[in-house]
Amino acid sequence: MSEITLLSVLGKRPILLDGAMGTELHRLGLPARTPSCLWCLELPEQVLAVHRSYIAAGAEALVCNSFLAASGQLSTDISSSEIDQINTLAVSLARDAAGDRAWVIGDIAPPASPSDEIPDERIRAAVDEQGSALLDANVNAILLETFSSSKQMRLAIGVLKRLSDRPVFASYNFSRSSSGAFETLSGETVCDVIKTAMDAGADLVGENCGSKLSLDDHVELAEHIFKIAGAGRTIIRPGVDAGTQVLDFARAMQTLQNKGVGALGGCCGTTPSHIRKVGLKREWICE
Ligand SMILES: [Zn+2]
């Protein structure tokens, strides 16, 4: 599917994304604390199998396995040409599974922890290196996910918008503060970080994963983001605990679809079963 088609669909109807890659690869034997992107090189057939399972489940877009495939994120003995290779492979594996049935979205993690005092130029350079590799490999859009710092998000969006006119999706990780309000790890409010990403030019803004958030929390958080950005400009991808029922996930996603969310899918803990159930017709889910 072409990027023009993706752009033409954005905001007009919800796009169904895939679910988690990392936790699916852990089920297939990826050791704990090993960045999942390394399996693009070491066990590409497993990455391809996960992508195919999401296509079979009805996903319209695949997030490629490039999270953390950037300078400063992997061990220091990984060269810049290997980083380029991992990103190129991550896109081609997703593209193999997607064929002409789904879009492929490049995935970029936060360049640094929000408390790290990293010079802006280093953040820009890391995003430029990975973003260029993903765009050269012909992704349809790029997702900046699990961010906690609006400053890092603003810098990253700026780099990507200078590199290309392909859509950029900006997604933060939130938790609840002691007062009950949602905030990022760096203590910023939903309103501040979402507005920063919109002002920087993000095509969709939203949240993914969540720290100790229930499905009800995700729906409440999404509604908060809808009020700031307009539902059609949002991307929502909750993470779930192992005990979360697939049907409960689908019902929460149905609530968001009914409100006109721009794109929805799953983060850590979600599986092809979760995505398949979301894709079912509303009548079935409500039975
Ligand atoms: Zn996650």
**pLDDT of 101-126, one tens digit each?**
999 999 999 999 888 888 999 999 99
pLDDT band at 5 (very low <50, low <70, confident <90, very high): confident
Flag whether pLDDT at 287 surpasses 50.
no
Please report the pLDDT score of residue 4 as a whole number.
57
Instruction: Please say if the pLDDT value at position 278 is more than 70.
Output: yes
Instruction: Indicate which CATH number applies to the domain containing 91.
Output: 3.20.20.330
Structure tokens at 97: 């599974």
- Mean pLDDT on 159-163: 98
Residue ranges with CB less than 5 Å from ion ligand 1: 209, 239, 267-268
Give yes or no for residue 8 having a pLDDT over 90. Answer: no
Q: Is residue 251 part of a domain?
A: yes
Alpha-helical (H) ranges within 75-205 are 80-98, 120-136, 150-163, 190-199
Cα-based distances in Å from 46 to 37, 41, 67, 96, 225? 11, 11, 16, 13, 35
Question: Taking residues 171-184, what's their average pLDDT?
Answer: 96
Strand order in the sheet with 234-238: 15-16, 263-264, 234-238, 204-209, 168-172, 141-147, 103-108, 61-63
Q: What is the pLDDT of residues 9-57, one digit of tens each?
A: 988 899 999 999 999 999 999 999 899 999 999 999 999 999 999 999 9
* Distance between Cα 168 and ligand 1 center (Å): 19
User: Is 10 a domain residue?
Assistant: yes
Q: Using the mean position of ligand 1's atoms as its centre, give its distance from the Cα of residue 145 in Å.
A: 9
Question: Checking phi first, is residue 270 left (phi over 0); if not, alpha (psi -120 to 50) or beta?
Answer: beta
Residue 185's nearest CA partner among 266, 110, 269 is 110
The pLDDT value given to residue 72: 82
Euclidean distance between CA atoms 2 and 285, whole angstroms: 31
Note whether residue 287 is domain-resident: no
Quote the ligand 1 centre to 268 CA distance (angstroms).
Answer: 4
| 277 assigned to some structural domain | yes
pLDDT at 97 over 70: yes
Q: What is the pLDDT averaged over residues 248-276?
A: 96
3-state secondary structure of 67: coil
Domain range enclosing 274: 3-281
Instruction: Find the 171 Cα to ligand 1 centroid distance in Å.
Output: 11
Task: Judge whether 102 lies within some domain.
Answer: yes
In a domain, 48, yes or no: yes
Cα 207 to middle of ligand 1, angstroms: 10
Contacts of 56 (CB under 8 A, 6+ apart): 272
Distance (Å) of CA 21 to CA 76, 119, 224, 252, 267: 24, 31, 27, 21, 8
Compute the distance from residue 269 Cα to the ligand 1 centre, in Å.
Answer: 7
When pLDDT is cut at 50, 70 and 90, the band that residue 282 belongs to is low
Q: How far is the CA of 19 from the centre of ligand 1 (A)?
A: 9
Q: Compute, in angstroms, the gap from residue 273 CA to the centroid of ligand 1.
A: 17
Number of domains in the chain: 1
Domain for residue 36, yes or no? yes
pLDDT tens profile 230-247? 999 999 999 999 888 899
**Residue 286 covered by a domain:** no
pLDDT in tens, 178-226: 999 999 999 999 999 999 999 999 999 999 999 999 999 999 999 999 9
Higher pLDDT, 263 or 80: 263
pLDDT at 1 (0 to 100): 64
